[in-house]
Amino acid sequence: MPAICILDKFEVEKNERFLKIAEDLTPPLLEEMIAPESLITLGHNIKGEACIDSRKPLDTLPGLMLKKDDSVILDFGTHHVGYVTLDLSFLGSHPDAPAYLYLRFAQRLDELTVDMSNYEGWLSKGWIQEEYVHVDVLPSTLALPRRYAFRYLEIRVIDTSLKYGLTVRSASLRAVSAVKMDQVAPLQSFDPLLASIDQVSCRTLHDCMQLVFEDGPKRDRRMWLGDLRLQARANYETFRNMDLVKRCLYLFGGLTFNDGMLAGCIFLEPEAEPDDTYLFDYALLYGSILLDYYEQTNDRAALEDLYPIALRQIDIGLSYLTEDHVIPDHSGDFWCFVDWGDGLNTQAASLAILIYAIRYALRLADHIGDNATIRRLQEMQEVLKESAIRHFWDEEQKLFVSGAEKQVSWATQVWMILARVFPQDKCHELILHTIDVEPRIRMVSPYMVHHYIDALLRCGEEERALQEIRRYWGEMVQDGADTFWELYNPYNKNESPYGSVALNSFCHAWSCTPSYFLRKFFGRKKTEHNNS
């Protein structure tokens, strides 16, 4: 089902001072020249999944003569983001027709086996990383203007002519990122799986750190608030690029609309603009990004500039409350994100996220010394906790339910725990009971699983949190992830919110948080211990 938001009334308010601060913090992009490692051919394993059948050394590439329908696949060794240049030539008579090429960039091997022309989902086909190119003159250098996110490049010759064949003398990639991988020391763990999970997380974050924290360098190539929050947290434990977080906070803060609302995401080009998409939960979580940033940096000026924006989101959130202190049920609309997944009812979670966001706003207000706000929000927090229990707690099932259908989902329980609606011991019982019951409405995005891990830690379930990181992100590593994916449902590996897995992003910001958990909460001792 398409999930879009188009606001009728959309009046952007630009704060030029904030935008100037953001502009001045634009990072230089660091470049690295990368050559492919080898040439590969594809096969299938016993499960029917695409795998590498054979490899040839790179120095065999220039000698290959590619004629009509021939193709070659280059493996760049791991996932990268950047610009590709091909040095092309020919063998045979002087080219008497253009070389007509099809180029396909893939983050995962299985993308190379899908016929993209069959894609009929609701997101634009424009996101598919493929090109049809005519090359009129040979030899020549083909410098592709578009930025790609990929590990594999397939070059297929649609046609040359009967008199000549194409050769690829060399291929190169100018990889870009705001940071360098070697800025981060490897995780100190004797558990090779955890070390790999951390490494893949770091690479995911690295590849998403461009002129802003992008959500996915293949798609959507923009900055989403919810993703930014998790990326910033992982960044504090790894690359520690504080200026990039600051720039992103000021970009959002400098581009509000309709009396102070924050956009769900921001486009960067041709100039920074907010999308006309409001996501209730994402906007509320801005305060938590600001608090984390302030506690990391002590940047008082930023706190004072951006505190009113964070507070405004809480007041906008509160304005949606009914007289009975619940948020009306918007499930089915792209209004409160929570998680991808068909049929998730978000009503109860939206109230929980409001309560959670108020806790962060209170801590911000405390730093600012805004006592009137502290009093007002403390009272409101109690009213809302009581309302959450009254409306959504089902004493018989010992679980929270959501919406008129009284749906039981993992997401609702997790957010109620993070909102601290119950004292810690009761939250602990609730998470264990949820694990026992295994609600049918599961978590499908790493974004939601991040919050589940957070809830486990809140309940003192550290061992289990580590086990879940191993199980969820570890399974992606075992499934061949070089960078972590936008969506991973171990129960349905082909799940896509977009109508085809071809449009899923396989290097996605919100999936990079194992590094945050492993480095912040689990020292060397714990990760060793769990290796058994």
Q: Which residues would be at the binding site for ligand RAM (CB under 6 A)?
A: 215, 220, 224, 226-227, 337, 486, 510
Long-range contacts of 422-430 (CB under 8 A, 24+ apart): 422/389, 424/458, 424/459, 424/460, 427/455, 427/458, 427/459, 428/459, 428/460, 428/461, 429/398, 430/398, 430/399, 430/400
Residue closer to ligand RAM, measured from CB, 164 or 337: 337
Roughly how many angstroms between the first and final C-alpha of the chain, as a whole number?
43
The structure tokens listed for 274 are 């907010």
30 φψ region: left (φ > 0), alpha (ψ -120 to 50), beta (else):
beta
What is the C-alpha to C-alpha distance for residues 29 and 178, in angstroms, rounded to an integer? 5
Structure token pair of residue 516: 């945050």
- 405 DSSP 8-state letter: T
CB of 509 to ligand RAM, least distance (A): 6
CB of 281 to ligand RAM, least distance (A): 10
Q: Where are the beta strands (DSSP E) in 476-532?
A: none
User: How far apart are CB 484 and ligand RAM at their closest, in Å?
Assistant: 12
Contact 151, 79 (CB under 8 A): yes
Nearer of residues 18 and 213 to ligand RAM, judged by Cβ: 213
Q: Strand 12-14 vs strand 255-257: parallel, antiparallel, or unpaired? A: antiparallel
Pick 294 or 447: Cβ nearer ligand RAM: 447
Of 126, 228, 241, whose CA–CA distance to 177 is shortest? Answer: 241
> Smallest distance, Å, CB 342 to ligand RAM?
15
Nearest approach, Cβ of residue 415 and ligand RAM (Å): 16
Q: Shortest approach of ligand RAM to residue 134 CB, angstroms?
A: 33
CB 104 within 8 A of CB 112: yes
Cβ closest to ligand RAM, residue 215 vs residue 454: 215
Give the nearer residue to ligand RAM in terms of CB position, either 61 or 289.
289
Give the CA angle between residues 449, 450, 455 to the nearest 5°.
90
* Euclidean distance between CA atoms 350 and 372, whole angstroms: 25
Shortest Å distance, C-beta 447 to ligand RAM: 7
Give the nearest distance from C-beta 230 to ligand RAM in angstroms: 10
Q: Which is nearer to ligand RAM, 335 or 472 (CB)?
A: 335
Helices 225-237 and 514-521 cross at an angle (nearest 10°) of 40
- CB of 154 or CB of 227, closer to ligand RAM: 227
Q: Reply yes or no: is the peptide bond before residue 270 cis, omega within 30 of 0.
A: yes
Closest approach of Cβ 282 to ligand RAM, in Å?
7
Minimum CB separation of residue 120 from ligand RAM in Å reads 19
> At a CB cut-off of 8 Å and minimum separation 6, what does 122 contact?
1, 2, 498, 499
Q: Is the peptide bond before 75 cis (omega within 30 degrees of 0)?
A: no
Compare residues 2 and 62 and give the one whose CB is closer to ligand RAM. 2
Taking a C-beta distance cutoff of 8 angstroms, is the pair 284, 317 a contact?
A: yes
Nearer to ligand RAM, 164 or 340 (CB): 340
- Name the residue nearer to ligand RAM (CB basis): 18 or 337: 337
Residues in the chain, total: 532
